[in-house]
Structure 1
Amino acid sequence: MNKVYVKHSVVAKIRRFTPWIYANEIDSDPEEFQSGEVVALFSKKDGFLGTAYVNPKCAIFARVLSFGKEEIGKKFFHNRIKKAIAKRGALLHVTNAVRLVHSEADFLPGLIVDQYGDALCIQINTAGMEAFRDVIVHTLKHLLNPSWIEEKSDVHSREIEGLVSKNGTLFGEAKALFELHENALTFLVDIQDAQKTGFYLDQRKNRAICASYVKQDDTVLDLCCNTGGFGIYALKAGAKECVFVDVSESAIEQTKANVERNTLSGESLHVKDVFTFMKEQKYKNTFDMIMIDPPSFAKTKEQANGAKRGFKHLLMESTKAVKDSGLIALFSCSFHVGKKELLEIAMEVSHDLKVQYILLEQMQQDSDHPCLINASASFYLNGLLFRVEK
């Protein structure tokens, strides 16, 4: 195993279990190493620091696999994946779909594994995980005996890593639709066609939190509804009407199917960009509750300012559209627009529209998408639930 030396200034960070080492933090020639190569991390002054894999093509040069001396092979992946699976047991009482492996937070950086019943959907997003592709797939088969494994790796992440896309069925026979059960609701999931790895499992807890505030005969607006999760929870909780809006025609079709599957009614479905929709509708004091859950507006730090302008516009229009003492749930799934930024945006809108926001809930991803406190980027999903006082 080759050694990568890091600068002495980085040692304290690594000893605080920070799992990423950047290219400008190493004291070795990066061109000496291969993409995906497993190395031992050393400091010339402090000695051994951990075991990592590297990619000279990336700004994140090394991702730590272990802060000890471990052989990275079949036994390592078996133990890590088995331990991650065991942590999800409690959630299987409320759902049949969970995230089993969540990258750095399960100490397997670059690997995502979601379980849908007896099927698995995986992402292999880094060169280091790509090097162990066969071991990973073999381990998943051995531990879970799946009927089907679908790969839906993140194309952008793999491109950064210098990898080609390999999405498709890895094992077994693909199924048209999966019936996902969640808190007494059913959602039909087209795993192959859906965004990300099939369904936004990370919002499971937040869907239930928002629904707990819905009153009988409320009117609800679900912006960027995807396949209807928040709005369907609201209808189930007693809302008489929910307006669903998404730019994707297939998402709205899936929303309609999900409403029908749960024998609910009161839906109004719109295939439209949410900015255009809100501009055209000019709602005033119409809704009891509005959910704003857009896709990531800021995949990079450079996109953060534009993203914040988008959030501010949606919050302003939603504030006009909600009734006095109505509720707004605002979500960001980008680390670059976190809780702090959402609160700053709310402060600006509060000033501009002369309204006050009462913060009722602060939300984050569900427990099968854990946050590693040493990796700030793992705090990627943030939500705020406001009561609007006009």
Structure 2
Amino acid sequence: MNKVYVKHSVVPKIRCFTPWVYANEIDSSAEEFQSGEIIALFSKKDGFLGTAYVNPKCAIFARILSFGKEEIGKKFFHNRIKRSIAKRETLLHGTNAVRLIHSEADFLPGLIVDKYGDTLSIQINTAGMEIFRELILSTLKQLVNPSWIVEKSDIHSREIEGLESKNGTLFGTPTKEFTLNENGLHFLVDIEDAQKTGFYLDQRKNRAICASYIKENDTVLDICCNAGGFGIYALSKGAKNAIFVDISESAIEQTKANLAANAMENYEAYAADAFTFMKEKKYKNSFDLIVLDPPSFAKTKEQTSGAKRGFKHLLMESTKAVKDGGLIALFSCSFHVGKKELLEIAMEVSHDLKVQYILLEQMQQDSDHPCLINASASFYLNGLLLRVEK
């Protein structure tokens, strides 16, 4: 195993279990190493620091697999995957779908696995994990015994890593449509063709939180609704009507199918751009709850300013549209626009519109998408539930 020496200034960070080492933090020549190569991290002064895989093509040069001297092979993957599965057992009491492996937060950087019944949907996002593809698959078969494994490794990070996109069946017989059961509600998931790895499982807890504030005969607006989760939860708690909006025609069709699966009829659904929709409708004091769950506006740090403008615009229009005393749930799925930035945006809108926001809930991804406190990027989903006082 080759050694990579890091700068002494980086040692405290690694000693605090930060899982990444950047290219500008090493004392070795990056070009000496192969993409995905397993290496030992060293400091010239402090000695051994951990075992990692590297990619000289990336700004994140090394992703740490273990802070000990551990052979990265069959036993390693068996133990890590088994431990990740065990941590999710209690979550399966209320649902039949769960994230089994969440990359760095489960100490398997670059690997994501979702479980839908007896189907596994996987993403392999890095060259280091790609090398262990067959070992990962054989371990999943042994520990989970799935009927179908489908790959959805078609995200931009693979291109950065120098890898091609990969999609399709890896094992077993495809299931065209899966019925996801979540807290007594039903959602139809086309696992192979849906966004990401299938369904926004990370919002499970937040759907329940927002629905817990619903009163009989409330009206709801679900903006960027995807499969309609927030609005469907609200209807199940007694809301008399929900309006669903998403720019994707297929998302609206999926929402309608999910409403039918739950025998819900009091709704309107529109395939429309959120900004255009709000501008044209000019709602005033119309809703008891508005949910804003847009796709990532800021995939990079450079896009943060534009993203904040987008959030501010949506929050302003929603504040006009919600009733006095009504609620707005505002979400960001980019760590570049985190809780701090969302609060700053809310304060700006509060000033501009002369309204007050009362913070009722601070939300993040559900516990099967854990946050690693030493990796800020793992805090990617943030939400505020605000009461609007006009």
With normalisation by structure 2, the TM-score equals 1.00
What amino acid is the match of 2:27? D
Distance in 1 between residues matched to 2:120 and 2:3, nearest whole Å: 35
After superposition, the C-alpha distances for 1:62-86 in whole angstroms (9 at most, x for unaligned) are 0000000000001100000000000
- Would the aligned equivalents of 1:123 and 1:151 in 2 still touch at CA under 8 Å? yes
Residue in structure 2 matched with residue 296 of structure 1 by the alignment: 296
Q: How do residues 190-209 of structure 1 correspond to structure 2 at under 5 angstroms?
A: 190-209=190-209
Q: Does residue 301 of structure 2 align to residue 319 of structure 1?
A: no
The answer to whether residue 155 in structure 2 is matched with residue 158 in structure 1 is no
Work out the number of aligned pairs and report it.
390
In the aligned structure 2, how far is the partner of 1:354 from the partner of 1:61?
48
Aligned twin of 2:29: 29
Q: Over the residues paired in the alignment, what is the CA RMSD in angstroms?
A: 0.5
Distance in 2, matches of 1:337 and 1:155, equals 20
Where do 1:188-267 residues align within 5 Å?
188-267=188-267
Query: What is the alpha-carbon distance in structure 2 between the residues aligned to residue 303 and residue 170 of structure 1?
Result: 36
The aligned residue for residue 361 of structure 1 is 361
Give SS of 1:45's match: coil
> Runs of 4+ in structure 1 displaced over 4 angstroms?
none
1:130 — aligned with what? 130
Conservation of the 8 A alpha-carbon contact between 1:285 and 1:322: yes
SS in 2 for 1:226: coil
* 3-state SS, counterpart of residue 242 of structure 1: strand
Which residue pairs with 2:20 in the alignment?
20
Instruction: Give how far 1:166 is off.
Output: 1.2
The 2-side partners of 1:364 and 1:122 are apart by 22
Equivalent residue letter for 2:266: G
- The SS at the match of 2:162 is coil
Q: How does 1:1-390 map to 2 (within 5 A)?
A: 1-390=1-390
Tell whether the 8 Å contact from 2:154 to 2:166 is kept in structure 1 after alignment.
no
Give the aligned residue type for 2:179: E
Letter of the structure 1 residue corresponding to residue 85 of structure 2: I
CA contact (8 A) 2:286 2:321 kept: yes
Are the counterparts in 2 of residues 22 and 61 from structure 1 also a CA contact under 8 Å? yes
Which amino acid in structure 1 is aligned with residue 381 of structure 2? L
Quick one: distance in 2 between partners of 1:217 and 1:174? 41
The CA deviation at 1:214 is 0.5
Q: After superposition, what is the alpha-carbon deviation per residue over 1:268-299, rounded to whole angstroms, capped at 9, x for unaligned?
A: 00000000000100000000110000011111
**Cα separation, 2, equivalents of 1:157 and 1:189:** 24
Whole-Å separation in 2 of the counterparts to 1:18 and 1:39: 17
Cα distance in 2 between the residues matched to 1:355 and 1:154: 43
Q: Deviations over 1:197-252 (max 9, x none)?
A: 00000000000000000110001000000010000000001001000000000100
Q: Which amino acid aligns with 1:192?
A: E
Whole-Å Cα distance in 2 between the matches of residues 383 and 205 of structure 1? 11
What is the letter of the counterpart of residue 260 of structure 1? A
What secondary structure does 1:347 align onto? helix
- Alignment-mate amino acid for residue 216 of structure 1: E
For 1:314, the aligned partner's letter is L
Matched letter for residue 59 of structure 1: A
Identical residues among aligned pairs (%): 82
Deviation at 1:173, TM superposition (A): 1.4
**8 Å contact 2:97–2:115 — kept in the other structure?**
yes
Q: Which amino acid aligns with 1:177?
A: E
Residue 265 of structure 2 aligns to which amino acid in structure 1?
A: S
d(CA) in 2 for partners of 1:366, 1:153 = 22
Aligned equivalents of 1:166, 1:385: Cα separation in 2 = 37
Contact 1:235 1:265 in 2 (8 A): no
Deviation, structure 1 residue 154:
4.0
Of 147-156 and 217-226, deviating more is: 147-156
Q: Given that residues 225 and 244 in structure 1 are in contact (C-alpha distance below 8 angstroms), is that contact kept between their aligned partners in structure 2?
A: yes
Q: Distance in 2 between matches of 1:215 and 1:306?
A: 35
Output the amino acid matched with 2:229.
G
Amino acid at match of 2:152: K
Q: CA deviation at 1:155?
A: 2.2
- Using the TM superposition, give the Cα deviation of residue 176 of structure 1 relative to its aligned residue in structure 2, in angstroms: 1.0
